[in-house]
């Protein structure tokens, strides 16, 4: 089996990780954590969401966070943007990349963003146009690709149709979301076989939640099929409040450890990332699922 020499990691902890936290994390703590993550070698951090504060109260300080961080050269700071209003706020916050999002299943899309997929496509076309005019790159998420909490199985034809539209709008990358952490390696193979016939591997990212412990196996399968962009959340924090039963993303440090041991470059320094994971665990005050964090703590 041949493997790529390097991969790219997208850190989504400050957004996906914190959006579902019932405990309020103070703005200055969010900023302090993002600043620590900026020093780890990560080249991409999704720092918050410019969504409606009533829908995601944990990130209601998005603008203060975006304005308050110390930016490090070479790091792309992205944020979730659902619509025009979100884009206006994100531009005020000085973000580098807009992450638009929608679901492959109709029911989750309506529960999550209050619109049909057809209406969402209209909104995202305009947001992508406007973001690009403002010199932002645009990344898109397609959620529930590997299963929907309401509709269960999601037909691959639906995934392809929506991905086609998003790429037509001019997104630079599509992140395929296993929102509820239900995917398995055989399913990853089937989905990627279909998508790689239409889209280059260099424009596809994988976003695995680890609800059932299959995230690393899924990442390895995707890697073997040529994917080199993976989303992770430091500590394994996270979940979607509108996807019952979903838990955190694959922990960034577990992904980094696996790749490092395989001789694949991530550019992330575990010696810096692990203290950042421990720091956020202590701030949030609950045990986080990351395996490497447990090993690190027991070594202290
Ligand atoms: P809506 O209520 O349909 O919005 O919500 P609307 O357009 O009808 O506007 C209603 C009011 O909201 C108006 O204010 C707007 O100005 C305001 P009013 O005139 O009544 O005073 N409004 C906003 N305010 C602040 N920021 C905005 C905004 N937009 C409208 N951006 C909306 C639609 C999309 C806003 C709402 O449903 C929402 O915020 N949803 C966010 C849900 C969310 O963040 N979910 C989690 C992220 S997705 C995820 O986790 C999956 C992912 O990780 C991938 C995976 O795991 O698969 C990405
Ligand atoms: Mg997610």
Q: Report yes or no: 131 and 138 within 8 Å, Cβ to Cβ.
A: yes
Please state the rounded mean pLDDT for residues 91-114. Answer: 98
Positive or negative, the Cα torsion across 33, 35, 39, 44? positive
User: Closest by alpha carbon to 149, among 57, 245, 59?
Assistant: 245
Question: What is the spatial distance between Cα 32 and Cα 36, in angstroms, rounded to a whole number?
Answer: 6
Active site annotation includes 148:
no
Residue 160's φ and ψ, nearest 5 degrees, are -65, -45
- Dig out the tokens for 160 from the structure: 């392809």
Q: Report yes or no: 50 and 86 within 8 Å, Cβ to Cβ.
A: yes
Tell me if 112 CB under 6 Å of ligand 1: yes
Tell me if 212 CB under 6 Å of ligand 1: no
Torsion of CA 102, 178, 256, 46, to 10 degrees: 20
For ligand 1, pick from 19, 20, 51 the residue to mutate: most ligand atoms within 8 Å of CB.
Answer: 51
Look at residue 241 in the predicted model and tell me its pLDDT. 77
Q: Report yes or no: 210 and 181 within 8 Å, Cβ to Cβ.
A: yes
Residue 103's φ and ψ, nearest 5 degrees, are -110, 155
What atom in ligand 1 is closest to the CA of residue 249?
56
Whole-number Å distance, alpha carbon 51 to ligand 1 midpoint, is 4
Residues forming a β-bridge with 174: 140, 204
* CA nearest ligand 1 atom 14, residue: 52
**Residue 113 neighbours by CB under 8 Å, 6+ apart:** 82, 101, 102, 120
Tell me if 238 CB under 6 Å of ligand 1: no
- Dig out the tokens for 58 from the structure: 């944990």
Q: Report yes or no: 96 and 139 within 8 Å, Cβ to Cβ.
A: no
Whole-number Å distance, alpha carbon 20 to ligand 1 midpoint, is 15
Q: Which ligand is nearest to the CA of 142?
A: 1
From 223, 240, 243, 256, active-site residue: 240
The count of other CB atoms within 10 Å of the CB of residue 245 is 13
Length of the chain: 300
Look at residue 243 in the predicted model and tell me its pLDDT. 79
Strands 76-80 and 173-178, by their bridges, are unpaired
Question: What is the spatial distance between Cα 166 and Cα 159, in angstroms, rounded to a whole number?
Answer: 11
What are 238-257's pLDDT values in tens digits?
A: 877 787 778 899 999 999 99
- Angle in degrees, CA 102, 103, 106, rounded to 5: 120
Look at residue 239 in the predicted model and tell me its pLDDT. 77
Tell me if 19 CB under 6 Å of ligand 1: yes
User: Closest by alpha carbon to 112, among 88, 153, 156, 143?
Assistant: 143
Q: Report yes or no: 33 and 292 within 8 Å, Cβ to Cβ.
A: no
What are 216-242's pLDDT values in tens digits?
A: 999 999 999 999 999 999 999 987 778
Range of weakest confidence among 58-62, 165-169, 235-239: 235-239
First and final C-alpha spacing in the chain: 37
Task: Please give the domain boundaries of the chain with CATH numbers for all domains.
Answer: 8-299 (3.20.20.70)
What atom in ligand 1 is closest to the CA of residue 175?
54
Does the structure show a pLDDT above 80 at 115? yes
């Amino acid at each position: 089996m041949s493997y790529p020499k390097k991969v790219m990691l997208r850190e989504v902890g400050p957004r996906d990780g914190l959006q579902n936290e019932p405990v309020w994390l103070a703005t200055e703590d969010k900023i302090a954590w993002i600043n620590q993550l900026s020093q780890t070698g990560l080249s991409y951090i999704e720092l918050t969401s410019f969504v409606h504060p009533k829908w995601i109260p944990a990130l209601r300080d998005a603008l203060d966070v975006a304005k308050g961080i110390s930016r490090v050269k070479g790091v792309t700071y992205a944020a979730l943007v659902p619509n025009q209003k979100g884009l206006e706020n994100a531009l005020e916050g000085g973000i580098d990349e807009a992450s638009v999002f929608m679901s492959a299943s109709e029911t989750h899309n309506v529960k999550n963003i209050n619109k049909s997929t057809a209406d969402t496509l209209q909104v995202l076309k305009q947001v992508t146009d406007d973001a690009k005019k403002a010199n932002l790159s645009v990344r898109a998420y397609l959620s529930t690709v590997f299963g929907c909490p309401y509709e269960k199985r999601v037909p691959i034809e639906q995934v392809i149709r929506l991905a086609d539209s998003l790429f037509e709008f001019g997104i630079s990358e599509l992140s395929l979301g296993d929102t509820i952490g239900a995917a398995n390696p055989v399913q990853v193979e089937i989905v990627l076989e279909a998508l790689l016939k239409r889209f280059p591997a260099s424009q596809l990212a994988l976003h695995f939640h680890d609800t059932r412990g299959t995230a690393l196996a899924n990442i390895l399968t995707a890697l073997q099929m040529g994917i080199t962009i993976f989303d992770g959340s430091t500590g394994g924090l996270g979940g979607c409040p509108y996807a019952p039963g979903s838990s955190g993303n694959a922990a960034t440090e577990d992904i980094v450890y696996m790749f490092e041991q395989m001789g694949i470059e991530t550019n992330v320094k575990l010696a810096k990332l692990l203290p950042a994971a421990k720091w956020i665990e202590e701030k949030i005050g609950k045990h986080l699922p990351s395996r490497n964090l447990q090993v690190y703590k027991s070594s202290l």
